Structure 1
Amino acid sequence: MTDDRIRARYLIETPVGLERAATSMAGEQSTGTFIALPGETPELHRRHAAHVESIELHETGVDASLSGSRGPGPVERGEVVLSFPLENVGTALPNLLATVAGNLFELQQLSGIRLIDLELPAEFGAAHPGSQFGVDGTREIAGVPTGPIVGTIVKPSVGLTPTQTGALAEELALAGLDFIKDDELMADSPHSPFEERLDAVLRGLDRAAEQTGRRPLYAVNVSGEIDDMRRRADLVASRGGNCIMVSVNAVGIAGLRDLRLHSSLPIHAHRNGWGALTRFPQLGYSYQVWQQLWRLAGADHLHVNGLRNKFWEPDDSVIASARAVLQPMNGGPAAMPVFSSAQSAEQAADTYAAIGTADLMYVCGGGIMAHPDGVAAGVASIRQAWEAALEGTDLDEYAATHPELDAALRTFRGALSS
């Protein structure tokens, strides 16, 4: 962008006509309200009014997606672009959200609204810390210069004591993983207090490192109130930890930004709760917008789901999300997409074919831990699948000479449909 306006693209539905709806949106989020006010001078409008930049009709006569809309005509669906003066907003991310994604979702003129793209002035990149490590820094800390960073999640998600979690982490590290993370359900619970669990896991990883010569990244879940997150991040750093995880939708964008400024560790951004913002196609945000905001706030790794996953998301959406994360943006580096959700050796070749890069985390829970020959065989099967993908060798052909991969394919193919 070459000017100081924020541009937001929306997919909207409306029974009042796209032009009238777009005008209402612009007024509601800048200088107007439902009735003219004495203070709405021409000069105020000139400096502060939002502009309707473009309108594109897609279809008319569609059924209304959401209840509560009002208007005289058939429902139209299309795209509108609004621009807002930077002077209205400043560069604070909460203020940005209030402007581009605030009361617009409440307007009775709309039966659907989805924020699908966001272009920000250069001032935003300068004002925010952004990703501290991204792809290159994460590879350096993990000691994985090429290929995917292969990881898993501590499972069962809840119920393990700190001692049990530490023993499992040691087993996973001995199996050769690059990355281990807490489940998003586990932060600081009565049955597994944060500090006890952290110490137990790090002791287990140290014991494993005595045999393997390396310690994997361990993304410990520090999610909580802001003061608690700061304290936990300090504990991780003081005890020699190398990564922290945050449930970003739960802690908020100001919470993540504060943690990024406070800590010198990579931040693994878990997106749990994301479905509420995007699953209905005529409401919420696109991932393109969502990941841009969290990267400005400081996320280094962002979840993107995975191919043939256990959730609702289709494969083309997953790949589009990963490509968005890998795109340098707002003056910051590429971040690391995290493929997870029922991933196993079975999806590796298709993931590489679709994304065309191994700059990613490939995080498998059951796809490693449920391997019939054990965790080490599960890790070996993932690495073998990616070796085949990177070499351009057919997966089944490679499996014929690699028993861990062969067992994985027999175990996990069709598992979600059974």
Structure 2
Amino acid sequence: MDLIEARYLIETPFEPEKIATIIAGEQSSGTFVRVAGETDELRERCSARVLSIRELAPADHPSLQSAYLTARGINGPYRRAEVRVGFPVDNIGHNLATLAATVSGNLYDLGEVTGLKLMDIKLPKAYRDLYDYPVAGTKGTRTRMKVHDRPFFGTIIKPNVGMRTHDIADLVEQLCEAGVDFIKDDEVCANPASAPITDRIPAIMERVRRYRDRTGRDVMIAFNITDETDAMRRHADLIAEHGGSCAMVSMNWTGLSALQTLRGSTDLVLHGHRNGFGALSRHPLIGMAFPAYQTLYRLTGMDHMHVHGMGGKFCDEDSEVQASAQICAQPLAPENGDEDHVLPVFSSGQWAGTVPATFDAVGSADFMFLAGGGILAHPSGPKAGIMSLRQAWDACEAGVSLEKHATGHSELAEALTFYGARG
């Protein structure tokens, strides 16, 4: 029997074995009592299996409150365990929303637990093959952009929102001339009154095509098309009509099913922004960790996926960012090759000074490095900002410190002085 394996971190005043059995039953063929029609044959065919339980150190206080436990006067100690449960593939079929409902569903609401977090999901190859692969991923993005043997260096339109269409087009033209590889909208700029997307796409792509025709160098623009499903499909068609190659989506707010529909209707590169992920992940004992999250969203056919940044402005430990980036470079099914990789995208407070840590985290040049203020706020302008990033990368390749490399490279030297003073 093919199984989809889900790994959970649980906290409970009960025996972890009892909770593991509840998880398996609640999310497959069972409920809290046996019902008519629940034959032994049906249970054998459809019941989820508890695969393993590894108990961890207990806690004196509950991570989350439960009215169920309070009403029954049940207190700690609160036992913690890592639990692996296998769900029969045939219960789910080719249905991503139901996969998510199966491995998550009502589990977060169980009265018996004071903490439950979905940590990871493992898929059999035959099940992974039911879903779309990236149309580009890391390898395809390199081919399309003709960027090899180094990271992709890009930026974000700043200010985030409020600029007029012609101002954004002017900035994009300036950034193309500065040498960026990639430019994206901010997540809060999709279809504002100041720059409607139906105006923004043709105005920006006219500048990009002109630059491409003159220089032979392509710059990938990720237009934020986050919206309801039909609108996203229309916007994707408009991008393609004007010679664009990429669309950005806020994955959490469009959802799995809408992204599947979008992927099925366009061959644009899909740039997945995970804004809102902290609501799912930030608490250690509720929600969903990145390994599980990225599995679900990669099944929609994403090509790029944000992982935050090393030494950035968000709450993640650098070790979490590193682990997130590395898992993007692994296939969802172990037998698959690099066609099943997504490109990890580093952003949030990035500048030349964080390039070495990013390289160390990934261990290769296969990443996208986005710097908003790290390019646009450089004291000598955006061209110097992008030069400082490339000089930082050159230092990494040469195995020398940024400070040493900066002695002969003024753009990097200015960046170290200007951004370094801000901590």
Decide: shared fold, TM above 0.5: yes
For normalisation by structure 2, the TM-score amounts to 0.95
Q: Does 1:128 align with 2:135?
A: no
Q: Partner amino acid for 2:28?
A: S
Number of the residue aligned with 2:304? 301
TM-score, normalised relative to structure 1: 0.96
Q: Which residue of 2 aligns with 1:21?
A: 19
Relative to 1, partners in 2 of residues 1:408 and 1:222: Cα closer, same or farther, differing over 3 Å? Answer: same
In 2, Cα distance between the equivalents of 1:72 and 1:48? Answer: 34
SS of match in other structure, 2:33: coil
Check conservation: 1:17, 1:73, Cα contact below 8 A: no
1:352 counterpart = 2:359: yes
| Distance in 2 separating the partners of 1:280 and 1:77 | 15
Matches of 1:156 and 1:258 in 2, distance apart? 31
Residue 344 (structure 2) pairs with residue 337 (structure 1): yes
1:297 to partner: Cα distance? 0.8
1:364 aligns with 2:362: no
* C-alpha distance in structure 2 between counterparts of 1:45 and 1:82, whole Å: 15
Question: 2:60 is matched with which residue?
Answer: 62
In the alignment, structure 1 residue 112 sits paired with structure 2 residue 119: no
Instruction: Write the distance in 2 (CA, Å) between the matches of 1:75 and 1:349.
Output: 42
Q: Deviations over 1:242-289 (max 9, x none)?
A: 111111111111111111111011110010111111011111111111
Structure-2 residue corresponding to 1:251? 254
1:211 deviates by 4.9
Structure 1 unpaired stretches of 5+: none
Q: Which 4+ residue blocks in structure 1 deviate beyond 6 angstroms?
A: none
Q: Secondary structure, in 3 states, of the residue corresponding to 1:130?
A: coil
1:166 aligns with 2:152: no
Deviation at 1:91, TM superposition (A): 2.5
* In 2, Cα distance between equivalents of 1:209 and 1:51: 55
In the other structure, the counterpart of 2:321 is 318
Partner of 2:148: 145
Distance in 2 between the 1:34 and 1:353 partners? 49
After TM superposition, list the pairs within 5 Å mapping 1:31-110 onto structure 2. Answer: 31-68=29-66, 70=69, 71=74, 73-110=76-113
Cα distance per residue 1:198-234 (max 9 Å; x no partner): 1111122234335543230001111111111111111
Secondary structure of 1:43 counterpart: helix
> The residue matched to 2:153 in structure 1 has which SS?
strand
The answer to whether the 8 Å contact 1:16/1:72 transfers is no
C-alpha distance in 2, partners of 1:121/1:91? 13
What one-letter code is carried by the residue in structure 2 that aligns with 1:244? A
Unaligned runs of 5+ in 2: none
2-structure distance, mates of 1:61, 1:266: 45
DSSP-derived class of the 2:129 partner? helix
Asked if the contact 1:128–1:297 (Cα under 8 Å) also holds between the matched residues in 2, the reply is yes
- Name which of 395, 408, 415 aligns with 2:402: 395
SS in 2 for 1:249: helix
Determine if contact 2:153/2:182 at 8 Å carries over to the other structure: yes
Instruction: Report the AA paired with residue 344 of structure 2.
Output: P
Moved more, 117-126 or 281-290: 117-126
How far did residue 354 of structure 1 move? Answer: 2.6
Separation in 1, partners of 2:31, 2:76: 22
**Structure 1 position 374 matched with structure 2 position 381:** yes
Aligned-partner Cα distance in 2 for 1:371–1:17: 57
1:51 deviates by 1.3
- CA deviations on 1:53-104 (whole Å, 9 max, x unpaired) are 1111101243211111524552101101111111111121101001001100
1:275-332 deviations in Å (ceiling 9; x for gaps) = 1110111111111111122111110000011111101011000000000001122345
SS of residue matched to 1:297: coil
Deviations 1:316-366 (A, max 9, x none): 000000000011223452210001000000011121123211101000000
Which residue pairs with 1:203 in the alignment? 206
Structure 1, residues 146-188: CA drift from partner, whole Å, max 9, x if none?
A: 2000000001010001111100100110100000011111111
Tell me how large the CA RMSD over aligned residues is. 1.3
Counterpart secondary structure, 1:127: coil
Does the CA contact (< 8 Å) of 2:152 and 2:182 recur in 1? yes
Letter of the structure 2 residue corresponding to residue 263 of structure 1: T
Shift in alpha-carbon separation, 1:310–1:73, aligned structure 2, 3 A: closer
Distance 2:316 2:421 in 1: 17
